[in-house]
Amino acid sequence: MSRDVWTVVALGMIAVLTALTVMFLSWGIGNHSVGFGFWVGSVLTLGIFSYLYKDNPFYKFAEHVFVGVSAAYWIAIAYWTQIDRNLWGRLLPEQFPQGGHEFNGFYIIPLILGIFMLCRLIPSIGWISRWSLAFIVGLYAGLRMYGFLQSNIMEQARDTLRPIIVPGSLVDSINNFLLVVGVLSALLYFFFSKEHKGVFGVVSRVGIFFLMISFGASFGFAVMGRISLLIGRFDYLIQAGTPSAGRASVVVAVIMILVLLIQAFKDKGSAEEA
C-alpha cells in the first residue's frame, strides 16, 4: 500500500485506541471484557460494510482478520474432532483414550494420505500430493453422487408414482397433480431431439414456468437467509450503540467516516496535482 494509505490506517488505529482508552477509563475494569467485545465487533462489522463505499483499508483489515480467524478456527476444530479423536484415537487408543475407540490399523492409510498432502509444501516432491487429492476428489464425488441419487432422483421418481387423485383430500390431489406435471414438463423441456412445436411446445413452455418458479423460490430463500444475517448485524450494532455498551458502534462509525473523508480529500488533491 502507498504511504498515504498507511497514514490513514495509522490515524484510524490511533483514534480507535484512544476511544478504547476512554471507554476503559469511563466504564471501569469490571466490564472490560464485554466492552472490548462490542468495540471489536463494531470495528469488524462496520469495516465490512464500508466496502459499500469503496475498497478501503478498513475493509481490507476486517477481511484479513475474518479469513485468518476462520482458517485457524477450522484447523483447530478439524484437529480436535478428527485427528485427535478419530485418527490417533484409533491408532494409539491407550495414549488417546478420549476418543473411546479400539485399535484399528486400517487408519494408517488416511495417515499416509495426510502426510502425502503435506508434501505439497515441498516443490521437489509435491507431485506425491496428487495421490491424496485424487482419492479425496474421487471419494467425495462418489459419496455426493450416491447422496444425490437417493435424495433427488430416487425420491423424485417415487413421488411421481403417487396417485393423482387422493379420495377425501383435495389438497393432496392438487399437490400430486402439480408434482407430476412439473416433473414431466420440465424433463420434456430438455428433450431437444424434437422441435418444440404444437402440443410438445406447449408442454415445454409449462416446464419453463415450473423451472422459473423453482429457481425463483431457491433464490428468494437464499436472499431471505442473507437478509436475516443482515438484520442480525444491524441489531448487534444497535445494541453496541447503547450507553451500556459505551456507544461503541457510534464512535467507530464516526471515526471511519472521518478517516474515509480525509482519504477522499487526499485522493482528490493528488488527482488534481497530477
User: Can you give the pLDDT at residue 29?
Assistant: 42
- Look at residue 117 and tell me whether its pLDDT is greater than 60: yes
Nearest to 252 by CA among 244, 4, 260: 260
**What interhelical angle do 108-118 and 129-148 show, nearest 10?**
120
What is residue 245's predicted lDDT score, i.e. its pLDDT? 81
Show the cell assigned to 171: 389438497
What's the maximum distance between 2 C-alpha atoms anywhere in the chain?
82
- Among 38, 81, 7, 54, smallest CA distance to 238 is for 38
Share above pLDDT 70 across residues of the chain, in percent, rounded to a whole number: 86
195-210: average pLDDT = 88
Q: Are the CB atoms for 57 and 12 separated by under 8 Å?
A: yes
Tell me the CB-side half-sphere exposure of residue 84, using CA atoms within 13 A: 9
Beta strands of the chain (E only): which ranges? none
Mean pLDDT score across all residues of the chain: 83
pLDDT at 3: 59
State the average pLDDT over residues 260-269.
81
pLDDT for 210-239, tens place per residue?
999 999 999 999 999 999 999 999 999 999
User: Taking the domains of the chain in order of start, what are their residue ranges?
Assistant: 1-103+242-274, 119-159, 162-240
Spell out a b/e string for 73-102, using b for 16 or more CB atoms within 10 Å of the CB, else e.
Answer: eeeeeeeeeeeebbbbbbbebeebeeeebe
> In whole angstroms, what separates CA 162 from the centre of its chain?
37
> For the whole model, what pTM was predicted?
0.67
Write the DSSP assignment of 129-162 as a string of letters.
HHHHHHHHHHHHHHHHHHHHIIIIIIHHHHHHTS
In the predicted structure, residue 81 carries a pLDDT above the cut 60? yes
Q: Of 32, 35, 14, nearest to 243 (Cα)?
A: 35
At 101, which helix (H) or strand (E)?
Answer: none
Only one residue has cell 406435471, namely: 181
DSSP annotation of 92: S
Q: How confident is the model at residue 20 (pLDDT cuts 50, 70, 90)?
A: low
Weakest-pLDDT range from 9-23, 57-71, 108-122, 201-215: 9-23
Residue partners of 233: CB distance under 8 A and separation at least 6: 45
**Four-point Cα dihedral 256, 262, 263, 265, nearest 10:** 140
Q: Residue 2 above 80 pLDDT?
A: no
What does the alpha-carbon distance between residue 100 and residue 134 come to, in Å, rounded to a whole number?
31
| Structure confidence at residue 179 as a pLDDT band (50, 70, 90) | confident
